[in-house]
């Protein structure tokens, strides 16, 4: 039956079956391998791949948080937020970009330059990434866009919030906000998680000082995105957290009032509560428009600010350095009394000048003041008297007292722009100038010229610490109700409104540190300041208040810009005859009311001439305004339970 | 021996239908239905172009499968050379009249469908060699004279397909051919020699590779080399499968494919999509179904009397296994992305047609198991 062929077939089929068996075994091995791979990917590493898949799926877009508000002492917002109307454009949603821009140009004010910039930007970006066509529209423009929206494919009207300031009266102390720069990102640690497009940060003033807290927490929108990065749907929104709001000690009404007074001048005013150090007003003129910085500054405006010789961007109240001039005489007198160098009744004869080692030192009064004691020396601001006192006192002892009363160091903490000024002494000169001290320089220091440099806020603090009876206070601009307990103070004031505070109350309730050896010396200086402002012959007598409610005691000063030549002195050249640039800075410090001091003030008018004529009248008006609002202020102190 | 022949040749349609391997038929059907769901998911949960045409193709070619299996195995034996030559002519036609898509010329425009002859060549080469070795006696099996024809029959379509260029399909065609030769009894040494020759020719072959093909191989060796370019597919596929976990993300919830992270999800990466949505257990079921299909074909080979039937079934089962494994290893990151569809599951008419044709011939072997060919 079996043919050779069929035998062959049987062997062949056996061979095939044998080989097939091997193949099948190999298949089983491969299958096991595949299952193993599946176990490894889908079971062992599932968590890893799930998170990778989510990383693929979700993308977050950060949302800029709302900046915290800044309020004045009466809860008036002095830095707030306003709705911001923007127009965004999503290129992929438009049919014809050129056509759309023509259409937009008809509705909004967009320049051709901006359009070509936007077109370039669109080319660089992904087609679903929006570009900001207009970042600050007014309401009528915005409603116009909304009206035509149906024919503007790809245009998205966006409402967001932006910083706004009610006016420019507090521009310097508040500072301004602007876009984050790359430098900011590098230098400021807290910004590292905060870089959100369109976010602004504080660049100067309180906005900068408080930036870290006021900026808030960034929110985010989490979207599911496809492989091309296009948003498919929103998964989660976190609005973020608005920044912390702050209440300051500033009085917005006084800020406005003072700002108006200083219009057209290059000047600074600082008003301070002499007990708790609250800065009531801090104004620098000329001011600038802080709102102009929020949405990218106009180049023309920026140039005008930079080129202005009155330096509107400088906060003169804390960054302006001026020789204190005759206002230092209060400290010179106090230092001499405290060190026992002079007695109040000691006199010197002023003949209009003295000579020392062949150098002439002039009194501002060419005729001389005749016989001068301490009271008259301060009243008339006699330079010769203070040359003599300073010579006896020496610059080192003077510098100790000056520093004690607040000169030579920053008054408020953490303002990058605040300057510390200079209180010179022999060591300082050696260290910074590398020369020995000359006795002539002591004389210059005695009338606040020479190396002396101070800021208006330092002069205000100095005056406040004299006015409160010689106690150290800690000036502050941020309202802090956990600070000084004023309960007993207010109670005492309600019972005996016109009596100065007893020493014990001050030291106990305010934790005030006395700066004096003998408080009587402080009273002597205060009395002398009173005579300067309120007795005939006083340098600011013309600007006194008769009403005891407003009566202030002050000290004028002028800091020399350019030394008078002998010829000018002979010709009796007046300050008003000089070029503006060459005129002296006019200074005035005061406290009020004299009988029961509450506030200290310092006024500096650059190139104003004499303190008595240029600075004192401004101080007078501000003092009145401040004292008129004192009761309102006190009410707030009282309503917060007597605890500030 | 004569008796069964007469019985077999007089099989009625009813007899034939009764002798179907129903486990195989049902496995194919289930897999087909699963593939429809998968396709529906790739279309984002809608009946769109891919889903509709996949469903249509499946049923049309499933019908073809029945038709082919009803035809006498002798017919397939007798016409296998002619079929091979016809497909070869079609391949030549591709070279001159083919459609070019994404850089390679693989398709012929037949108006009602775009035919990819290289897919059909996978099966027809097996058919050709099965007949050839059926006729070669054991003594002549390893003589050089009888090696000549199979080598030509293998190399010629291989070169045509490789230069389309379509590396994946040409490798799969070669794999099928080699399997037949080896099963038939060609000695191991010949395979060793030819692989030595192949390896020595490899540098020359590599110089003919398109840059994208070189990059695919390099990328397979190190997927992180270019995570956004060529390595992207492997990485995203692994993420999709891995993130499916034990039970998957659920039907229509495969975020990787739904959000377009997954490339080629209709075709080569259909298993990835399914695995992402149905997890480890889903993947295992697919593997099981394929295992079932393959083992049924092997069983048919066991019970078929003719050498031709045995050779064909064993080879086709092995080739089918290789197609499945190569595709899966590719999407699991175990092989470079060479472009090979998953039989039955992947979208693609020619692949479906070739698979169903191959399965149909195997089923014909089953129905006509006792019919001697020749």
What confidence tens digit (pLDDT) does each residue in A152-203 have? 878 877 777 888 999 999 999 999 998 888 788 888 888 877 667 667 889 9
pLDDT of residue A182: 78
Report residue B363's pLDDT band, with 50, 70 and 90 as the boundaries.
very high
Kindly report the number of other CB atoms within 10 A of residue A253's CB atom. Answer: 19
User: What percent of chain B has a predicted confidence (pLDDT) above 70?
Assistant: 93
pLDDT of residue A498: 65
Of the two residues A71 and A582, the one the predictor is more confident about is: A71
The C-alpha of B316 sits at a distance from chain A's nearest C-alpha, in angstroms, of 12
A:422-481 residues touching chain B, CB 8 A cutoff: none
Find the CB nearest A9 among B279, B307, B328.
B307
Kindly state whether A57 is in contact with chain B, defined as any CB-CB distance less than 8 angstroms: yes
Of the given ranges (A25-39, A49-63, A456-470), which has the lowest mean pLDDT? A49-63
pLDDT of residue B40: 94
pTM of the model: 0.68
From chain A, pick out residues whose CB is under 8 angstroms from the CB of B246: 42-43, 46
The C-alpha of B259 sits at a distance from chain A's nearest C-alpha, in angstroms, of 4
Kindly state whether A38 is in contact with chain B, defined as any CB-CB distance less than 8 angstroms: yes
Find the CB nearest B185 among A15, A34, A42.
A15
What is the pLDDT averaged over residues A613-620?
92
pLDDT in tens, B63-122: 999 999 999 999 999 999 999 999 999 999 998 888 887 777 889 988 878 899 999 999
Of the given ranges (A555-564, B187-196, B346-355), which has the lowest mean pLDDT? A555-564
Q: Which residues of B228-252 are buried (b: 16+ CB within 10 A; e: fewer)?
A: eebbbbbbbbbbbbbbbbeebbeee
Report residue A643's pLDDT band, with 50, 70 and 90 as the boundaries.
very low
pLDDT in tens, B129-178: 999 999 888 888 888 888 899 999 999 999 899 888 788 898 899 999 99
User: What percent of chain A has a predicted confidence (pLDDT) above 90?
Assistant: 46
Strand spans (E) along A166-248: 177-179, 200-202, 219-225, 231-238, 246-247
Question: Which tokens in the block code for residue B214?
Answer: 């070189």
Please answer yes or no on whether B259 and A224 come within 8 Å at the CB atom. Answer: yes
- In whole angstroms, give the CA distance from residue B79 to residue B75: 6
Q: Is residue B374 part of a domain?
A: no
Kindly state whether B184 is in contact with chain A, defined as any CB-CB distance less than 8 angstroms: yes
From chain A, pick out residues whose CB is under 8 angstroms from the CB of B302: 17
Please answer yes or no on whether B239 and A38 come within 8 Å at the CB atom. Answer: no
- In whole angstroms, give the CA distance from residue A234 to residue B370: 65
Those residues whose C-beta lies under 8 Å from the C-beta of residue B6, and which sit 6 or more positions away, are: none
Closest C-alpha to B102, from B262, B339, B341, B344 = B339
pLDDT of residue A596: 84
Kindly state whether B179 is in contact with chain A, defined as any CB-CB distance less than 8 angstroms: yes
What residues make up the domain containing B239?
2-367
Size of interface A-B (CB pairs under 8 A): 122
pLDDT in tens, B210-258: 777 777 666 666 656 565 565 788 889 999 999 999 999 999 988 888 8
From chain A, pick out residues whose CB is under 8 angstroms from the CB of B332: 34, 37-38, 41
pLDDT in tens, A396-425: 999 999 999 999 999 998 788 999 999 999
Question: Which tokens in the block code for residue A13?
Answer: 């089929």
pLDDT of residue A3: 38
- CB-CB contact of A262 with A283 (8 Å): yes
The C-alpha of A219 sits at a distance from chain B's nearest C-alpha, in angstroms, of 25
- H helix intervals, chain B: 2-9, 13-18, 22-42, 49-70, 73-97, 117-135, 144-162, 167-184, 188-208, 211-221, 231-244, 255-258, 270-303, 307-331, 349-367
- CB-CB contact of A552 with A592 (8 Å): yes
Coil/strand/helix, residue A289: coil
Please answer yes or no on whether A34 and B328 come within 8 Å at the CB atom. Answer: yes
Coil/strand/helix, residue A379: helix
What is the pLDDT averaged over residues B15-23?
91
Residue A1 has pLDDT above 70, yes or no: no
Mean of the per-residue pLDDT values for chain B? 88
Find the CB nearest B245 among A13, A17, A50.
A50
Of the two residues A640 and B306, the one the predictor is more confident about is: B306
Q: Is residue B272 part of a domain?
A: yes
Instruction: Domain A252-639: give its CATH code.
Output: 3.40.710.10
The C-alpha of A161 sits at a distance from chain B's nearest C-alpha, in angstroms, of 33
Kindly state whether B241 is in contact with chain A, defined as any CB-CB distance less than 8 angstroms: yes
Q: Which residues belong to CATH 3.90.1310.10 in chain A?
A: 61-247
From chain B, pick out residues whose CB is under 8 angstroms from the CB of A5: 137
ipTM at complex level: 0.91
Given its phi and psi angles, is residue B111 left (phi above 0), alpha (psi -120 to 50 degrees) or beta?
left
CA of A578: how far to CAs of A286, A465, A582, in Å? 22, 35, 6
pLDDT of residue B2: 43
Residue A507 has pLDDT above 60, yes or no: yes
- Which residues is A348 bridged to in the sheet? A372
Closest C-alpha to A588, from A564, A562, A572, A608 = A608
Report residue B323's pLDDT band, with 50, 70 and 90 as the boundaries.
very high
Kindly state whether B2 is in contact with chain A, defined as any CB-CB distance less than 8 angstroms: no
Kindly report the number of other CB atoms within 10 A of residue A471's CB atom. Answer: 24
- In whole angstroms, give the CA distance from residue B56 to residue B68: 18
From chain A, pick out residues whose CB is under 8 angstroms from the CB of B254: none
Nearest CA in chain A to B284: A35
pLDDT of residue B219: 64
pLDDT of residue A285: 87
What is the pLDDT averaged over residues A293-320?
89
Please answer yes or no on whether A48 and B275 come within 8 Å at the CB atom. Answer: no
Closest C-alpha to A194, from A58, A61, A62 = A62
Q: Is residue B147 part of a domain?
A: yes
Please answer yes or no on whether A16 and B185 come within 8 Å at the CB atom. Answer: yes
Q: Which residues belong to CATH 3.40.710.10 in chain A?
A: 252-639
Structural domains in chain B (count): 1
Coil/strand/helix, residue B290: helix
pLDDT of residue A4: 40
Please answer yes or no on whether A43 and B179 come within 8 Å at the CB atom. Answer: no
Kindly state whether A21 is in contact with chain B, defined as any CB-CB distance less than 8 angstroms: no
A:232-261 residues touching chain B, CB 8 A cutoff: 232
Please answer yes or no on whether A42 and B329 come within 8 Å at the CB atom. Answer: no
Nearest CA in chain B to A26: B318
Nearest CA in chain A to B295: A24
- Phi/psi at A563 (5° precision): -65, 140
Report residue B371's pLDDT band, with 50, 70 and 90 as the boundaries.
confident
Of the two residues B31 and A137, the one the predictor is more confident about is: B31
What is the pLDDT averaged over residues A588-612?
91
Those residues whose C-beta lies under 8 Å from the C-beta of residue A581, and which sit 6 or more positions away, are: A309, A561, A607
Mean of the per-residue pLDDT values for chain A? 86
From chain A, pick out residues whose CB is under 8 angstroms from the CB of B259: 56-57, 224-227, 232
From chain B, pick out residues whose CB is under 8 angstroms from the CB of A232: 259
In this structure, which topology does domain A61-247 adopt according to CATH? Penicillin-binding protein 2a (Domain 2) (3.90.1310)
Report residue A86's pLDDT band, with 50, 70 and 90 as the boundaries.
confident
pLDDT of residue B6: 45
Kindly state whether A159 is in contact with chain B, defined as any CB-CB distance less than 8 angstroms: no
Give the mutation candidate from B190, B239, B296, B335 for the A interface (greatest A CB count, under 10 A). Answer: B239
Residue A383 has pLDDT above 90, yes or no: yes
């Amino acid at each position: 039956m079996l043919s050779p062929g069929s035998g062959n077939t049987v062997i062949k089929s056996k061979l095939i079956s044998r080989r097939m068996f091997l193949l099948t075994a190999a298949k089983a091995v491969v299958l096991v391998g595949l299952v193993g791979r599946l176990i490894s990917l889908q079971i062992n590493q599932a968590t890893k791949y799930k998170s990778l898949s989510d990383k693929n799926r979700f993308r977050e877009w950060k949302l800029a948080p709302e900046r915290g508000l800044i309020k004045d002492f009466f809860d008036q917002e002095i830095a707030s937020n306003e709705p911001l109307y923007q127009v965004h454009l999503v290129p992929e949603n438009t049919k014809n970009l050129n056509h759309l821009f023509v259409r937009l140009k008809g509705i909004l004010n967009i320049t051709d330059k901006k359009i070509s910039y936007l077109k370039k930007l669109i080319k660089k970006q992904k087609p679903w990434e929006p570009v900001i066509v207009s970042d600050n529209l007014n309401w009528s423009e915005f409603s116009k866009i909304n009206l035509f929206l149906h024919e503007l494919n790809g245009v998205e009207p966006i409402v967001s919030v932006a910083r706004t300031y009610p006016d420019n009266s507090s521009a310097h102390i508040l500072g301004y906000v602007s876009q984050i720069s790359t430098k900011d990102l590098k230098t400021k640690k807290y910004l590292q998680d905060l870089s959100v497009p369109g976010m602004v940060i504080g660049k100067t003033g309180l906005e900068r000082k408080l930036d870290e807290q006021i900026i808030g927490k960034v929110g985010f929108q989490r979207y599911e995105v496809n492989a091309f990065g296009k948003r498919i749907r929103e998964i989660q929104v976190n609005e973020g957290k608005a920044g912390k709001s702050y209440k300051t000690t500033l009085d917005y009404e006084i800020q406005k009032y003072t700002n108006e007074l200083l219009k057209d001048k290059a000047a600074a005013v600082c008003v301070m509560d002499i007990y708790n150090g609250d800065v009531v007003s801090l104004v620098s003129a000329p001011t600038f428009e802080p709102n102009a910085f929020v949405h990218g500054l106009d180049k023309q405006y920026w140039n005008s600010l930079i080129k202005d010789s009155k330096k509107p961007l400088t906060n003169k109240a804390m960054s302006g350095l001026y020789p204190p001039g005759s206002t230092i005489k209060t400290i010179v007198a106090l230092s001499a009394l405290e060190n026992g160098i002079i007695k109040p009744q000691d006199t010197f004869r002023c003949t209009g000048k003295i000579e020392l080692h062949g150098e002439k030192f002039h009194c501002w009064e060419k005729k001389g003041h005749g016989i001068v004691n301490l009271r008259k020396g301060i009243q008339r601001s006699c330079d010769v008297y203070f040359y003599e006192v300073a010579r006896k006192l020496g610059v080192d002892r003077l510098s100790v007292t000056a520093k004690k009363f607040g000169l030579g160091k920053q008054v408020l903490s953490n303002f990058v722009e605040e300057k510390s000024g200079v209180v010179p002494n022999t060591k300082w000169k050696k260290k910074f100038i590398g020369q020995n001290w000359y006795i002539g320089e002591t004389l210059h220091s005695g009338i606040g010229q020479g190396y002396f440099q101070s800021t208006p806020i330092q002069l205000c603090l100095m005056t406040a610490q004299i006015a409160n009876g010689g106690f150290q206070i800690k000036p502050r601009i941020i309202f802090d109700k956990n600070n000084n307990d004023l309960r007993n103070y207010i109670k005492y004031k309600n019972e005996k409104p016109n009596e100065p505070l007893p020493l014990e109350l001050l030291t106990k309730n305010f934790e005030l540190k006395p700066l004096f050896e003998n408080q009587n010396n402080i009273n002597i200086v205060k009395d002398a300041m009173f005579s300067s402002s309120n007795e005939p012959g006083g340098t600011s007598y013309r600007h006194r208040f008769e009403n005891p409610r407003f009566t202030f005691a002050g000290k004028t000063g002028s800091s020399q810009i350019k030394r008078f030549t002998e010829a000018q002195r002979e010709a009796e050249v007046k300050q008003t005859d000089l070029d503006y640039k060459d005129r002296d800075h006019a200074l005035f410090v005061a406290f009020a009311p004299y009988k029961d001091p509450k506030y200290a003030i310092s006024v500096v008018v650059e190139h104003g001439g004499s303190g008595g004529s240029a600075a004192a009248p401004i101080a007078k008006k501000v003092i009145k305004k401040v004292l008129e609002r004192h009761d309102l202020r006190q009410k707030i102190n009282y309503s917060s339970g007597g605890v500030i | 021996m004569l008796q069964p022949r007469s019985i077999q040749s007089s099989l009625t349609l009813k007899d034939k239908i009764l002798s179907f391997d129903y486990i195989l038929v049902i496995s194919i059907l289930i897999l087909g239905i699963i593939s429809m769901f998968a396709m529906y998911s790739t279309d984002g949960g809608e009946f769109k172009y891919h889903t509709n045409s996949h469903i249509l193709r499946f049923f049309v070619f499933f019908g073809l499968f029945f038709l082919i299996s009803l035809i006498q195995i002798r017919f397939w034996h007798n016409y296998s050379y002619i079929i091979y030559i016809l497909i070869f002519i079609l391949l030549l036609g591709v070279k001159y009249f083919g459609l070019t898509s994404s850089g390679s010329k693989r398709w012929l425009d037949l108006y009602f469908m775009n035919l990819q002859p290289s897919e059909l060549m996978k099966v027809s080469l097996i058919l050709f060699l099965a007949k050839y070795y059926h006729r070669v006696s054991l003594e002549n099996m390893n003589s050089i004279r009888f090696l000549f024809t199979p080598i030509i029959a293998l190399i010629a379509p291989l070169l045509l397909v490789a230069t389309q260029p379509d590396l994946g399909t040409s490798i799969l065609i070669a794999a099928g051919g080699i399997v037949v030769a080896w099963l038939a009894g060609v000695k191991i040494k010949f395979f060793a020699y030819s692989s030595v020759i192949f390896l020595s020719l490899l540098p020359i072959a590599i110089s003919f590779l398109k840059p994208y093909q070189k990059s695919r191989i390099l990328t397979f060796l190190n997927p992180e080399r270019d995570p956004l370019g060529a390595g992207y597919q492997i990485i995203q596929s692994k993420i999709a499968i891995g993130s499916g976990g034990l039970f998957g993300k659920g039907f229509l919830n495969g975020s990787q494919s739904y959000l377009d992270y997954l490339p080629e999800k209709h075709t080569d990466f259909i298993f990835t999509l399914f695995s992402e949505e149905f997890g480890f257990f889903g993947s295992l079921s697919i593997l099981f179904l394929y295992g079932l299909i393959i083992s049924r074909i092997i069983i048919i080979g066991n019970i078929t009397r003719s050498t031709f039937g045995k050779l064909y079934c064993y080879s086709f089962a092995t080739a089918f296994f290789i197609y499945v494994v190569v595709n899966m290893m590719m999407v699991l990151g175990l092989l470079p992305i060479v472009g090979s569809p998953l039989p039955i599951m992947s979208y693609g008419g020619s692949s479906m047609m070739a698979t169903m044709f191959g399965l149909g011939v195997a089923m014909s072997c089953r129905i006509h198991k006792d019919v001697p060919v020749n």
